[in-house]
Chain A
Amino acid sequence: MTDIEIDTRGETCPVPLVECRKALKKASEGDEVTILGTHPASKKEIPMACKALGLEIIGVEEKDEEWKIKIRR
């Protein structure tokens, strides 16, 4: 099991969503992908994408404008 972290802070639509999908595509089953960002809409949309992909969100953290979403592949 590997932990993969992607930093999309400062990036705007559609980059956080796309980078998240690219990382999930490369990850193996059981890997944890953490995505870090500041784009407000992506904070809502990454969980939507995970739901559509049938993947589990294992944690969401927020501090000021930054958010961190952890997903199990």
Chain B
Amino acid sequence: MTDTAETTDKAVIIVHSGDMDKIYSALIVGNGALAMGMDVSMYFTFWGLQRLKKGGLEKGPLSKMHMLGLGKWMINKRMKAANVASLEKLMNDYKELGGKILACEMTMEIMGVKAEELRTEWIDEYGAVGTYVNEARDAKITLFI
């Protein structure tokens, strides 16, 4: 939207965890902030970055009660019954609304993740801590998930 009334308040989220429920939290907050007219950047690092691998988005365990996958299976069933959107839809909406994705280069180096293993179509920028700090410098909301 190009109307002048639109604010440029910004939210920046560090996505450190790769747990399924936490990726949900990050993407829901990110989408919500975009829907409320903010700019949003999500900085994927450590276990969070693993979720940007091809086929990796839905692969995370539950942060609690994973129970070798049984807990996750139960939660997925409950979420389906409640008609909760998939992570893939939330990510596509996030990108469609102009959300930015930053990928941590140090994580790629220490965990041996190559750019071609990642969903590069989602990633706007590769960077390190300076990139995060620069994004967060003028942000109204910053979260570490």
Contact A14 B83 (CB under 8 A): no
Contact of B5 among A10, A48, A49, A53 (CB under 8 A): A53
Is A63 located at the chain interface by the 8 A CB criterion? Answer: no
Chain B, interface size category, equals 20 to 34
Chain B residues with Cβ under 8 A from A21's Cβ? 34-35, 97
Contact of A53 among B1, B31, B83, B97 (CB under 8 A): B1
Q: How far is the CA of A60 from the CA of B18 in the complex (A)?
A: 40
Interface size (A, Cβ < 8 Å)?
Answer: 22
Contact B37 A53 (CB under 8 A): yes
Contact of B84 among A12, A25, A45 (CB under 8 A): A12
User: Which residues does B use to contact A, with CB under 8 Å?
Assistant: 1, 3-7, 28, 31-32, 34-37, 82-85, 90, 93, 96-97
User: Which residues does A use to contact B, with CB under 8 Å?
Assistant: 10-15, 17-18, 20-22, 24-25, 29, 45, 48-49, 52-55, 73
